[in-house]
Amino acid sequence: MTPAAGPAIDVRGLTKRYGGRAVVDDIALAVQRGRICGFLGPNGSGKTTTIRMLCGLLTPDAGSGTCLGLDIRADAMQIRRQVGYMTQRFGLYEDLSIRENLDFVGRLYELPRRREAVDRTLERLGLAARQKQLAGTLSGGWKQRLALAACLMHEPQLLLLDEPTAGVDPKARRDFWDQIHALAADGITVLVSTHYMDEAERCHELAYIAYGRMLARGTQREIIDASGLVVWALHGDDAGAAHATLVEALKQRPGVLSVAAFGNTLHVAGRDALALEAAIAPWRQQSGLQWVPTAANLEDVFISLIGQAADNFAVQASA
């Protein structure tokens, strides 16, 4: 089937409430075909709820839009059959083999020439040599690969991946991302939620939400530039020992938006260069420490954003 023209995802005003609290609040998101969009945010920010509305598993309380040209409200059933959704937790049968799991998924989608589809998927994901192995005996990385294979069985044009690499070793994560980029090169669109900044940097574009609200959207460079952050880095052999006392003190200083440790380096960020210099001045001459201006990175930006976001639990509690 030839995919429809236009963005793979194009939604606006997306809202979902539970118990009177908006866990997703007026989200707008557009992702062009063949792009990898990283979906970032802290736990409880609404990423999973948003993904489930996009793939037709949840009906939004407000908002409208399309996935693959299909209306997210009127065509939810069709959307479910045309996207690949990978959940946070492994959802296949551990007492079935790799092949048996894929055959079961093929039956669910009523795929014609199912055996050929299973064979093709096993080869595509490098699972053919392990096809008789029980899913429950696989490592985290191989389970992840099997879950991705199940998402691709019916040849979707849109993948919605919810923290697919959580708990997976670095090599498996790298292999997974190589596969994702190969899929995008074939024209498949990917929306992937992640907590890893190195993975965020591998995405074509990013969307960052906190407490149900969209806080930043664009490429890595666009988001960093738009933040307007000024950052000072604290280096030195004694920097690690100084972190415990410095972090809380610096957070209370006027002009400081965020303080974050990166190993033995401390990043202190703000938007007003003069105010930030004044904030760190009491520690500038401390023996064994070196302060240098540095470029903001994605983590600096996101830590600053979450620090400024209003907690929707707290908002409701104080209402």
Q: Is-contact 184 34, C-beta < 8 A?
A: yes
pLDDT at residue 5 tops 90? no
Q: Which of 169, 118, 170 is nearest to 146 (CA)?
A: 118
Mean pLDDT in residue range 151-169:
91
pLDDT at residue 161 tops 50? yes
pLDDT at residue 208 tops 60? yes
For residue range 75-90, list pLDDT tens digits in order.
999 999 999 999 988 8
| Confidence (pLDDT) at 237 | 62
Mean pLDDT of the chain: 90
| Confidence (pLDDT) at 319 | 39
Domains located in the chain, CATH noted: 9-223 (3.40.50.300), 230-295 (3.30.70.1320)
Percent of the chain surpassing pLDDT 70: 92
Whole-number Å distance between alpha carbons of 266 and 240? 8
Q: Is-contact 271 296, C-beta < 8 A?
A: no
Rg (CA), the chain: 22
CB count, 10 Å around CB of 69?
Answer: 17
For residue range 40-71, list pLDDT tens digits in order.
998 889 999 999 999 999 999 999 999 999 99
| Confidence (pLDDT) at 309 | 61
Beta-carbon contacts of 1 under 8 Å, excluding residues fewer than 6 positions away, are: none
| Confidence (pLDDT) at 263 | 77
Up-side HSE of residue 250: CA atoms within 13 Å toward CB?
28
Mean pLDDT in residue range 175-186:
93
CB burial of 101-139 (b: ≥16 within 10 Å; e: otherwise) equals bbbebbeeeebeebeebbeebbebbebeebbeeebeebe
pLDDT at residue 1 tops 70? no
Checking DSSP bridges between strand 258-262 and strand 265-270, what pairing results, if any?
antiparallel
Q: Is-contact 161 190, C-beta < 8 A?
A: yes
Q: Which of 130-139, 202-211, 257-266 has the lowest mean pLDDT?
A: 257-266
Residue carrying structure tokens 């194009």: 10
pLDDT at residue 315 tops 50? no
φ/ψ of residue 172, rounded to 5: -65, -35
Task: Give the 3-state secondary structure of 274-309.
Answer: HHHHHHHHHHCCCCCCEEEEECCCHHHHHHHHHHHC
| Confidence (pLDDT) at 223 | 96
| Confidence (pLDDT) at 172 | 86
| Confidence (pLDDT) at 43 | 86
Q: Which of 11, 4, 5 is nearest to 37 (CA)?
A: 11
Amino acid identity, position 86: M
Q: Is-contact 290 283, C-beta < 8 A?
A: no
pLDDT at residue 311 tops 90? no
Whole-number Å distance between alpha carbons of 20 and 203? 34
Q: Is-contact 98 122, C-beta < 8 A?
A: yes
Q: Which of 11-15, 21-25, 116-120, 165-169 has the lowest mean pLDDT?
A: 165-169
pLDDT at residue 318 tops 50? no
For residue range 222-278, list pLDDT tens digits in order.
999 999 999 999 986 655 555 667 788 898 999 999 988 887 888 999 999 999 999
| Confidence (pLDDT) at 196 | 86
Whole-number Å distance between alpha carbons of 14 and 61? 8
| Confidence (pLDDT) at 276 | 96
